[in-house]
Amino acid sequence: MTDTHTDIVIETIPIERITVLNPRARDAAKFAEIVDSIDRLGLKQPIKVSRARGADGEAAYNLVYGQGRMEAFLALGQTEIPAIVTDLSEQDSLLESLVENIARRRPRPGALFRAIGDLAGLGYPNREIATKIGYSAQHVARLRRLQKAGEERLLIAVETGKMPLRVAIAISEADGGQAQEVLVEAYEKGELSLKQMPGARRAVEHRQRYGKAQKPPHGKRKSPAKRADAVARELKEAVKNHVQIIDKADRTAEQLGILVKGLRLLMSEDHFRAVLRGEMLQTMPAPLARLVEAPEEA
């Protein structure tokens, strides 16, 4: 089908023949909403692909945008999907896909500078990247400057509005212990607002504590197998301690038995009892007295 007013070609194509050049993760709840919407209302807007040639020589396609809609079709058991078909090269398809991702209303933190890095990796100069994504060449150059320095945390702070780009660059260039001083100076100059200050401080503290790269602060979690090994070791140690306690109790009981037998023998002697009376030691602890007075086992 061809739209004669815009010369846009829309075809129904096999989903299995589509390659996603720029895959991205999707929130499960939002994906469920897409599936439900398409199931109830149908596909409101076709996906966009560019023609390619499959390894088997048959027609194939590179996805430009519409990954969520395509995956929703698959989830609904469909094997074909309406698509705007273009003749873009693979490089231009990837470029348009990256730009489309940047243009989304609420991209994930880090998506912007990663996409700029991808465009730079394709050989595009800063000025051309700036034109394509709607930023100034100077802004792109500064972002690339932070990116080359590995400043992921500062880039995300800039992208999420926690600090201006100028302040992030100043922090990146400051000596290790002076980052907080840079924040205070930026605030005093009016470059950093009171509302931005808490988020900027946290970003700087995390950078100092965990490094420039954005990664989980607590490191990798132990695998279930390692946790099981640790539990097994603790259990073995507990059993070992328990055995030692039992052995000690047995030795103590044996020693107490010898003591009780000795006291029984002594208490049976009149002379020993007379000595005790003379020393005013006629009594003994009640538990011990009960053991001494108890009949001796055969």
Q: What percent of the chain clears pLDDT 70, i.e. is strictly above it?
A: 78
Q: Strands across the sheet with 47-53, in order?
A: 2-3, 8-14, 80-86, 47-53, 59-65, 18-20
In this prediction, residue 73 carries a pLDDT of 93
- Half-sphere exposure (Cβ direction) of 238: Cα atoms closer than 13 Å: 6
pLDDT category at 75 given cuts 50, 70, 90 is very high
Question: CA-to-CA distance for 208 and 175, rounded, in angstroms?
Answer: 11
Q: Evaluate if residue 222 carries a pLDDT over 60.
A: no
- 125/249: higher pLDDT: 125
Question: CA-to-CA distance for 213 and 58, rounded, in angstroms?
Answer: 43
- 172/114: higher pLDDT: 172
pLDDT category at 105 given cuts 50, 70, 90 is very low
pLDDT category at 77 given cuts 50, 70, 90 is very high
Lowest-confidence range among 8-22, 30-44, 130-144? 130-144
Question: CA-to-CA distance for 296 and 136, rounded, in angstroms?
Answer: 101
Instruction: Render pLDDT for 148-204 as a digit per residue (tens, 0 to 9).
Output: 888 888 988 887 888 888 899 999 988 767 888 888 888 888 888 888 889 888 988
Pull the structure tokens for residue 227: 């946790």
In this prediction, residue 109 carries a pLDDT of 53
Mean pLDDT of the chain: 78
Q: Evaluate if residue 107 carries a pLDDT over 60.
A: no
Mean pLDDT, range 217-245, rounded to an integer: 55
Lowest-confidence range among 20-29, 105-114, 184-193? 105-114
- 111/229: higher pLDDT: 111
Question: CA-to-CA distance for 285 and 276, rounded, in angstroms?
Answer: 14
Q: Evaluate if residue 126 carries a pLDDT over 70.
A: yes
Instruction: Give whichever of 33-37, 70-74, 178-182 has the largest mean pLDDT.
Output: 70-74
In this prediction, residue 108 carries a pLDDT of 56
- 87/214: higher pLDDT: 87
Structural contact between residues 93 and 25, judged by C-beta atoms closer than 8 angstroms: no
